[in-house]
Structure 1
Amino acid sequence: MSPEEKSHCLITVSTAADILNAERLIFPGVGAFEQAMGVLSRKDFTEPLREYIQSGRPFLGICLGMQLLFEGSDENGGVEGLGIIPGRVTQFDTSLGLPVPHIGWNTLEQRRQARLLSQVGDRRVYFVHSFRATPSPENEDWVLATSHYGGDFISAVQKGEVNATQFHPEKSGAAGLDIIQSFLEPPREYIVPSANGKARGLAKRVIACLDVRANDAGDLVVTKGDQYDVRETDSEGREVRNLGAPVDLAGRYFIEGADEVTFLNITGFRDFPLGDLPMLEVLRRASEGVFVPLTVGGGIRGFTDADGRHHSALDVAAEYFRSGADKVSIGGDAVEAALEFLATGVKTGKTAIEQISWAYGAQAVVVSIDPRRVYVKDPADTARPTVHTARPGPAGERYCWWQCTVKGGREGRDIDAVELAKAVQELGAGEILLNCIDRDGRGDGFDLELVEAVSSAVTIPVIASSGAGAPQHFQEVFESTGAAAALAAGIFHRREVSIEAVKQHMSRSGIPTRTA
């Protein structure tokens, strides 16, 4: 290999020698602090990594890759880090009433000019983390930028050729790609952030959801949820309703400004999740051109294959992560896990939520809750907590609670939505996708009472889903509830409402919004 060819060679580090021989090193990090330091230690990477960083060659750490540079972290009960930057990494303060993990698009307060952030300007970048480092006199010369979430935390560091970000540039759209390009090549100019820029802080997220299943020809298509009729009669017979190819739609939504894209695999390959090669390929192809977070749900559970070999939920999730997913969504299995936990009060460590959260962090685990309204005339008629509803039941009932369901809404379980949300948070979930079977497809707005009941009961972010039909519905859910994000599907697929129209309406209403 010629020197010119070698200078453009990109390899994945597999040995200590790879680190020491690198000309540039990018250290992305996903997961928990303790597990990451354990991997570095077992592979004898710790000292070579310190040696490389101190050598003056270009280095870029991302998310956990930044946190590991500090002296230590309070995560996992307290773990020592690489000790490059003074200070410890601590958890966000949930007593402030802000959802944790800190998930979404936040602004950067640049403390000084540096090559890494030279092209960002006022654009937001994507964060997903529960722990953060804070600025102090001891690390002042390292801090390149801070962000605000219940207080200032360090969002980027730079000293010499050592660069690192708490956010994910690879998931931060065009702004993130500019950051990576600035690390690789000197920029021609520096874009100065406006002193009177747009609203600062964490934006409310707009998420595009794609229900994916195989059609009669075996191709994966975007359709409707499996609790509904996904077939329609045409001149050639009954076929699966096809609203588009998943990779193409995901690419369209990225261009149109979606803050995240969620794939819900309603075929699910439920008997053999690791055989779900078509969906894995969708993730691989989508991640090549979609630079915002990707979530996938359907079949994320442990199973035993035809040869009698057991595969844990962590094995299944790991394959999706390797294929390009940033988060996995767990549905029915989360309900069963919560019921067992509430009955015994014991965390076994064997549930999908616990396994994946332990290895990848709570921010990688989304629990999808599918409740339906149960009306009662009087709160005394049920042992469940009820709300006085502004939407009376069919017989004029003025009270209701929300029963959780499984199997696409076909079966109910003896647990309400608020109780389930609290339980899965305790088990390690980092986010809740809150659907509402009663409202899905109706287009008359989110169930604000449900969203507020759940979001006010937990300290993790809640995504409102089901019922969006117009831009004002997004405004309503953000102004009336504690939702951190809102999700829609059909109205985007059918171009009844555009993501751009939703965001423009939110911005005019004073709701913090990310623009591309």
Structure 2
Amino acid sequence: MGGLYLLDYGAGNVRSLANALNRLEYDFKWVKKPEDILEADKLIFPGVGAFGSAMELLTSKNYAEPLKQYIKSGKPYMGICVGLQALFHGSEENPNVPGLCIIPGTVKLFNKTDKAVPHMGWNEVFCVRRINGINEDYPQDDHHGIKQGTVYYFVHSYAVPFTDELKEWTLATTQYGKEIFVSVIQKDNILCTQFHPEKSGYAGLKVLRSFLQGEGIVSNTSRQFIIRNPEILPRDRFTKRIIACLDVRTNDQGDLVVTKGDQYDVRECNDGSGVSGQVRNLGKPVDLARRYFEEGADEITFLNITSFRNCPLTDLPMLEILKRTSETVFVPLTIGGGIRDVIDPDGKFHSALDVAGEYFRSGADKVSIGSDAVYAVEKYLANDKKLSGDTAIETIARAYGSQAVVISVDPRRVYVDSPANAMGHHVIPTSYPGPKGETLCWYQCTVKGGREGRDIDVHQLVTACETMGAGEILLNCMDKDGTNSGYDLELIQDVKKAVNIPVIASSGAGREEHFEKVFVETNVEAALAAGIFHRREVPIQSVKNYLKERDILVRDIISTL
């Protein structure tokens, strides 16, 4: 039999890796039984999620021992993310669960005092090995398809700190905040990346192609460890993400379209009558997503704004959109809307975890939870801030990792003249007075697409969701949506101070300057926009060029293989 095999241990998005291999025109087989591992000529172990659950699944499926035998056989092995971490003795994430014990050392949690965790986004790798005979202190040649100075997509809370004891294993390191960790391992037949090449655009596809072409087996005697010059030590080159958002719904003809509205109204009103007309149609979801990938978007977010009610889970239109998008788009994909417990028309029940699993298997990397997050936090607060363990946030984060759970917040301002009139909610001063000259406000969370306000504020919501295990906040603002007047900096600053997880700014972008302002004044990790990208009013590349001219780190586009 032989050939290339993929080891899917049952968690996360492996469809994107399969699509990347198809894009590179390589055939592969799935590992379906332990014997397949030893049968393989090349093996890739992609991993997303918790170290402990990965190792427990490997053990329960009887994959662990054949995997160790395979690696020791000298045949090419590539591990991605958890596929790298599994080679170590253990992880702080699950201290009582042993790894494969091939490489000495422990995977450790990032220090949260100087940065958001998870480490989620595009960061640079610094090659610490070079081919004998090359005299450059800062090599520019490719190492296993990895180009010095290129950024790749990372999403993890735990990493292997770089130490002298790991020199013989380390091909590249990356710095996040003040910490330097091992981002690429290479020794003999082993090549592992902490980043996700299948989500790192064309730069990542080059790494996969290098391994598949046989460059994954290199004798370490042909390489030397670089003596580090202080001037070329790795720096924190974590870039700001620009995210394109696609609101998807059915129009009046039953077609799936990307739409966008003013203050959440997605229907046209062109005759001055005030009567809404047809749903705005700004393009087909799959075609637009591919366009944004080619234009340099760092992530794509689909928001299912009608939830396609009364559809059986397996027939949801968004599943097909994700499957088709992930065939040609090699950056992270997030899906929001409908991530909750559902009952099919025939009465069959599906938990939120089941729904998320279907989306991950269809090509999503993250799921975004909106209204259900509000309801979960209301119960959490009513239960004296005790975790129930059964919310969508908790169950999905436990199974797939916190980085897979995004909380989408739709707040609106409520002006007050005194904190006493805010019903105990988190009040902040504002530079934009209310209708009666109020200089204080709190942000009320809403549900059902902004149609219903709840007695809970944004501060309560985001801090509780972080406690439940969420890995990122998508922070909208109903007052700013569709205005092109810039992001709500006061809201974003307040939320950024409240949590230690990444925050995406959303709602209000209208010009390149708005992206600069939100990054500089709030230090937010990412900024999202929709309408200005759909209508080509502000191209993504224009935003990135503008930011680069002002020394804000963004990812350069690599447009071809």
Secondary structure (helix, strand or coil) at the match of 2:129 reads: coil
- Structure 2: how far apart are the matches of 1:467 and 1:273? 35
**Sequence identity, in percent?**
57
Trace 1:95-114 onto structure 2 (pairs within 5 A). Answer: 95-96=113-114, 98-113=115-130
Give 1:198 deviation, angstroms: 12
- Structure 1: how far apart are the matches of 2:392 and 2:263? 23
- Structure 2: how far apart are the matches of 1:8 and 1:449? 50
- Please say if 1:325 is aligned against 2:364: yes
- Structure 2: how far apart are the matches of 1:343 and 1:2? 57
- Structure 1: how far apart are the matches of 2:430 and 2:294? 39
- Which residue number corresponds to residue 202 of structure 2? 174
- Please say if 1:463 is aligned against 2:481: no
Q: 1:270 to 1:338 in 2, by over 3 A?
A: farther
Give 1:136 deviation, angstroms: 2.1
Does the CA contact (< 8 Å) of 2:90 and 2:97 recur in 1? yes
- Which residue number corresponds to residue 346 of structure 1? 386
Does the CA contact (< 8 Å) of 1:149 and 1:202 recur in 2? yes
Listed one character per residue, the Cα deviations across residues 336-382 of structure 1 (whole Å, up to 9, x for unaligned) are 00111111122111110001000000000000001001111223322
Does the CA contact (< 8 Å) of 1:437 and 1:466 recur in 2? yes
- Which residue number corresponds to residue 409 of structure 1? 450
Trace 1:386-397 onto structure 2 (pairs within 5 A). Answer: 386-397=427-438
- Structure 2: how far apart are the matches of 1:432 and 1:468? 18
- Structure 1: how far apart are the matches of 2:523 and 2:79? 32
Which of residues 224, 230, 246 in structure 1 aligns to 2:266? 230
The 10-residue stretch of structure 1 (358-367 or 263-272) with the greater mean CA deviation from structure 2: 263-272
- Please say if 1:474 is aligned against 2:515: yes
- Which residue number corresponds to residue 422 of structure 1? 463
Give 1:199 deviation, angstroms: 7.7
- Structure 1: how far apart are the matches of 2:2 and 2:71? 26
- Which residue number corresponds to residue 252 of structure 2? 216
- Which residue number corresponds to residue 18 of structure 1? 36
Does the CA contact (< 8 Å) of 1:230 and 1:240 recur in 2? yes
TM-score (normalised: structure 2): 0.86
The 10-residue stretch of structure 1 (237-246 or 111-120) with the greater mean CA deviation from structure 2: 111-120
- Structure 1: how far apart are the matches of 2:416 and 2:316? 46
Secondary structure (helix, strand or coil) at the match of 1:390 reads: coil
Give 1:89 deviation, angstroms: 0.6
- Please say if 1:207 is aligned against 2:224: no
Listed one character per residue, the Cα deviations across residues 124-155 of structure 1 (whole Å, up to 9, x for unaligned) are 00000011111223322101111111310111
Does the CA contact (< 8 Å) of 2:93 and 2:108 recur in 1? yes
- Structure 2: how far apart are the matches of 1:49 and 1:305? 39
Trace 1:265-284 onto structure 2 (pairs within 5 A). Answer: 265-272=304-311, 274-284=313-323
Aligned residues: 507
Secondary structure (helix, strand or coil) at the match of 1:167 reads: coil
Runs of 5+ consecutive residues of structure 1 not aligned to the other structure? none
Which of residues 285, 310, 319 in structure 2 aligns to 1:246? 285
Does the CA contact (< 8 Å) of 1:199 and 1:512 recur in 2? no
Secondary structure (helix, strand or coil) at the match of 1:231 reads: coil
- Please say if 1:372 is aligned against 2:412: yes
Which of residues 107, 112, 134 in structure 2 aligns to 1:94? 112
Which of residues 57, 73, 76 in structure 1 aligns to 2:91? 73
Q: 1:273 to 1:68 in 2, by over 3 A?
A: farther
The 10-residue stretch of structure 1 (41-50 or 276-285) with the greater mean CA deviation from structure 2: 276-285
Listed one character per residue, the Cα deviations across residues 267-314 of structure 1 (whole Å, up to 9, x for unaligned) are 212444614432111101110110100000010011233343321111
- Structure 2: how far apart are the matches of 1:352 and 1:227? 28
Does the CA contact (< 8 Å) of 2:471 and 2:501 recur in 1? yes
Does the CA contact (< 8 Å) of 1:433 and 1:462 recur in 2? yes
Does the CA contact (< 8 Å) of 1:212 and 1:263 recur in 2? yes
Which of residues 154, 165, 175 in structure 2 aligns to 1:138? 165
- Which residue number corresponds to residue 211 of structure 2? 183
- Which residue number corresponds to residue 488 of structure 2? 447
Give 1:108 deviation, angstroms: 0.4
The 10-residue stretch of structure 1 (500-509 or 110-119) with the greater mean CA deviation from structure 2: 110-119
Trace 1:426-441 onto structure 2 (pairs within 5 A). Answer: 426-441=467-482
Listed one character per residue, the Cα deviations across residues 395-439 of structure 1 (whole Å, up to 9, x for unaligned) are 211111101001111111111111100000000100000000000
Does the CA contact (< 8 Å) of 1:144 and 1:157 recur in 2? yes
Does the CA contact (< 8 Å) of 2:261 and 2:267 recur in 1? no
- Structure 1: how far apart are the matches of 2:26 and 2:264? 51
Q: 1:482 to 1:8 in 2, by over 3 A?
A: closer
- Which residue number corresponds to residue 373 of structure 2? 334
Q: 1:337 to 1:2 in 2, by over 3 A?
A: closer
Give 1:90 deviation, angstroms: 1.0
Q: 1:385 to 1:291 in 2, by over 3 A?
A: same
What is the root-mean-square deviation of aligned Cα atoms in Å? 2.4
